[in-house]
Amino acid sequence: MSENNVLQVLGDKPSRQEILAHWEPENEAFWNAFGQKIAKQNLYTSTWALTLSFVVWTLWATIAAKLNAVGFHFTDEQIFTLAALPGLVGATGRLLYTYLPGLIGGKNSTFITTALLLLPIIGLGNALQDTTTSYDTFVLLVSFIGIAGANFSASMANIGFFFPKAHKGLALGINAGVGNLGVSLIYLTAPLLLGWNLSSFFGPGLITTDGTPLFLQNVCYFWAIPTILTLVLIWLFMDNLPLPKQSPKSIFSIFGNKHTWLMCWIYTCGFGSFIGFSAALGLLVTKEFPEISFSMASFLGPFIGASVRPLGGWLADKINSGSRITLLSLFVMLAASLAVLAGIQSHNFMIFFGAFLLLFLTTGFVNGASFRMIPYIFNNPFHSSLVTGFTAAIAAYGAFLIPKIFGWSYSNFQSVTPAFYLLIAFTASTILITWWFYDRKGSGMNC
């Protein structure tokens, strides 16, 4: 519909439902008159809901290293496995959640998936107060927390429909980048909550081997409160766009396109590294640098990586090349990975931690810029949305694989070095893929 026609149809004071029924973000007149305000309301609310999801998804990583200190008796492999399970469930759930906005609406899907978070965090809060809780019980509850990680795909698949292509890079960068800040938010608040005596509200703490009380359940129960408040915000400020239902043939068509899998590879190197290292970094420091008190600094890496993600999308929009920003960031990421390994091998915490902060920084740029590439590779907005969600799902397996690779490396080699060799090789291969298929002059791509 032309710019003038859509304004004539809507009139001077259309209802919100009338505007949604004629949603045309690429129509500049419609966007300026009606679309921009609604799109931003949905973006801001969705972004906070996604931030909360990342808080819950990585919540267990702030608790795992404390279990044995308060009377639980789990092996290193069991601890690393528990740290990996939310990633496995979250990644697998993303494969399904990608399609929720198209099936039940963006507002409805966000409300339901956020409400589900209350079940695992309250259940886990109960379990953490009893040191006789079995390993199998923790496997069940920690796996259930993984559903929080699935929310990302539904959120990203939904929010992209609200914005014109020219603004998608920044909008998706804000939604994902600020959402990713949930990882640093839980790392920042957990040390305070663990030591805060809220026994009159959340129950008594457990005593560590050195006589210090720890209130593990606080980390779970506390976040139930903003979850309930977020449900109110979703109900008031989000909308269901009338998205056409996709046929199975249309949905499965993305799997026959090589670029779907290539973008999965690239995004896994960025986001898979970001979320995997976020889940495993505390345990890695405990193993390699036990003399370092790391709890109050653990939020820095995820904070940096999440904060620069919108900048990665913005820069890609600015120079009109997500592939170039991605490629340059991957080169720095490779150098940072080598420096992290050097810090471990020399037992130099400053080199290790400084390189890790740089590594998190580069994952943020890769994440923002690579997601900007997808709408330009897949011109059909529905295919672009599906690929965005599917790519996010595959990359999320990094939250499972990196802790498991670390655990495997320690179990078989008594060292984490072989694990870093694998991760460095993966980064090098991603550089080659990005250059060959998207950034070299003869690639035929402008993304």
Q: Tokens for 6?
A: 């859509």
> What is the structure's pLDDT at 2?
52
> What is the structure's pLDDT at 148?
95
> What is the structure's pLDDT at 64?
85
> What is the structure's pLDDT at 231?
97
Q: What homologous superfamily is domain 36-242+254-443 in, according to CATH?
A: MFS general substrate transporter like domains (1.20.1250.20)
CB within 8 Å of 327: residues ≥ 6 apart: 431, 434, 435, 438, 439
pTM: 0.82
Quickly count: other Cβ atoms within 10 Å of residue 212's Cβ.
13
> What is the structure's pLDDT at 71?
87
> What is the structure's pLDDT at 7?
67
Per-residue pLDDT tens listing for the chain (447 residues): 555 666 666 767 888 888 888 888 888 888 888 889 999 999 999 999 999 999 999 998 889 888 888 889 888 788 888 888 998 999 999 888 888 888 899 999 999 999 999 999 999 999 999 999 999 999 999 999 999 999 988 898 888 889 987 787 778 878 887 898 898 899 889 988 988 888 778 888 888 877 888 899 999 999 999 999 999 999 999 999 987 666 667 677 888 899 999 999 999 999 999 989 987 888 888 889 988 887 767 888 889 998 898 888 889 888 889 999 999 999 999 999 999 999 999 999 999 999 999 999 999 999 989 988 998 899 877 788 788 878 888 998 988 899 889 989 998 999 999 999 999 999 999 999 999 999 998 888 888
